[in-house]
Amino acid sequence: MTKKQAKFDFEVALEELEALVSSMEDGELSLEESLQAFEKGIKLTRECQTALKNAEQKVQVLLNENGDTEELNLDEVEE
């Protein structure tokens, strides 16, 4: 019997990644624990990057479906 993969929750993954970084920065982990935390952090980072890329693609598809759109450079937008 195979397990169903749980739905990815970006916010939970980001919080977990922040907790891993904090525990590693505290310097109280053993070498083995640090390596495990690093490995899990890399996995979470990749999952978050994939989720962001997928969201960006969905937004682009929606914008393209609704007619003419203009690419917006967020770095140039004044706050």
**Overall pTM > 0.85:** no
C-beta atoms surrounding 20 within 10 Å = 21
3-state secondary structure 10-75: HHHHHHHHHHHHHHHHHCCCCHHHHHHHHHHHHHHHHHHHHHHHHHHHHHHHHHHHCCCCCCCCHH
Does residue 4 have a pLDDT over 60? no
CATH, domain range 10-65: 1.10.287.1040
Q: Are 45 and 16 in contact, with CB atoms under 8 Å apart?
A: no
Using pLDDT thresholds of 50, 70 and 90, give the confidence band for residue 51: very high
